[in-house]
Amino acid sequence: MIEFTIWDILRNLLLASRWTIVLSLVSFAGGGVVGLALLFLRISRRKWTRAFAKYYIELFQGTPLLMQLFIAFFGLGLFGIDVPAWLAAGLALILWTAAFLGEIWRGCVEAIAKGQWEASASLGMGRLQQMRYVILPQALRIAVPPTVGFSVQVIKGTALTSIIGFVELSKAGTVVTNATFQPFTVYGLVALIYFVLCWPLSKSSQILERKLNVAHRNH
């Protein structure tokens, strides 16, 4: 039997962590773009676009991410479309992230006092101008801490993609465990790596919250 050192294990896990990081970044960036589009639909004056965004968000928030991954991976396969694991993983995570970010940001936009809309409207601004110059700059301040906080959920969410065969940190953990028969050591290290990725984000979210709040009060 081959002996594995801790370094062997850690090295393999770290190599796989790259894919966790890439998938997280892609999901977050893609989810951000789609989420922004959802935000605009959600607060649009047209009824059906509002309804569309609302049902989209409810659907993705109301079903487990794992099911969404299965559907993206196996569902499309039923129609003869061969979806590689990375594509299904990326797609499902982007759509899932968008649903949450869209809703977080809607809350931030709605937290801006109604008077800001009225004042900018009475100065003759159109709706997009109001958003661009008056509402979003203020909403951004409130949005930063929860958005950064949610990025932690995205990173942890990527772990689920191991089930459809995408090799990231969790999947690598399973593979390495099967080779080494040291589940406690391996999964302990896996957890540690997740923690190292997530903790700074949680912490910075807290710091940002304090900082932006102070800035908002005193300039």
When the beta carbons of 62 and 124 are compared against another protein, the nearer one is 124
When the beta carbons of 121 and 198 are compared against another protein, the nearer one is 121
CB of 42 vs another protein, minimal distance in Å? 19
When the beta carbons of 3 and 219 are compared against another protein, the nearer one is 219
When the beta carbons of 129 and 185 are compared against another protein, the nearer one is 129
d(CA 30, CA 91) in angstroms, rounded, equals 9
Span interacting with another protein, options 31-39, 79-87, 113-121, 147-155, rule CB under 8 A: 113-121
Amino acid at residue number 158: T
* Rg of the chain on CA atoms, in Å: 21
Q: Give the CB-side neighbour count of residue 112, counting CA atoms within 13 A.
A: 24
Instruction: Examine residue 109 and tell whether it contacts another protein (CB under 8 A).
Output: no
Span interacting with another protein, options 23-31, 34-42, 59-67, 111-119, rule CB under 8 A: 111-119
Instruction: Examine residue 47 and tell whether it contacts another protein (CB under 8 A).
Output: no
* Nearest Cα residue to 150 out of 58, 27, 50, 64: 27
| Cβ-contact 39, 102 below 8 angstroms | yes
CB of 50 vs another protein, minimal distance in Å? 18
d(CA 173, CA 191) in angstroms, rounded, equals 10
Q: Which of residues 114-133 bind another protein (CB under 8 A)?
A: 115-116, 118-127, 129, 133
**Tokens matching residue 157:** 């969410």
| Cβ-contact 212, 111 below 8 angstroms | no
Residue recorded with tokens 């968008």 = 98
Give the footprint of another protein on this chain (CB under 8 A). 113, 115-116, 118-127, 129, 133-134, 137-138, 141, 216-219
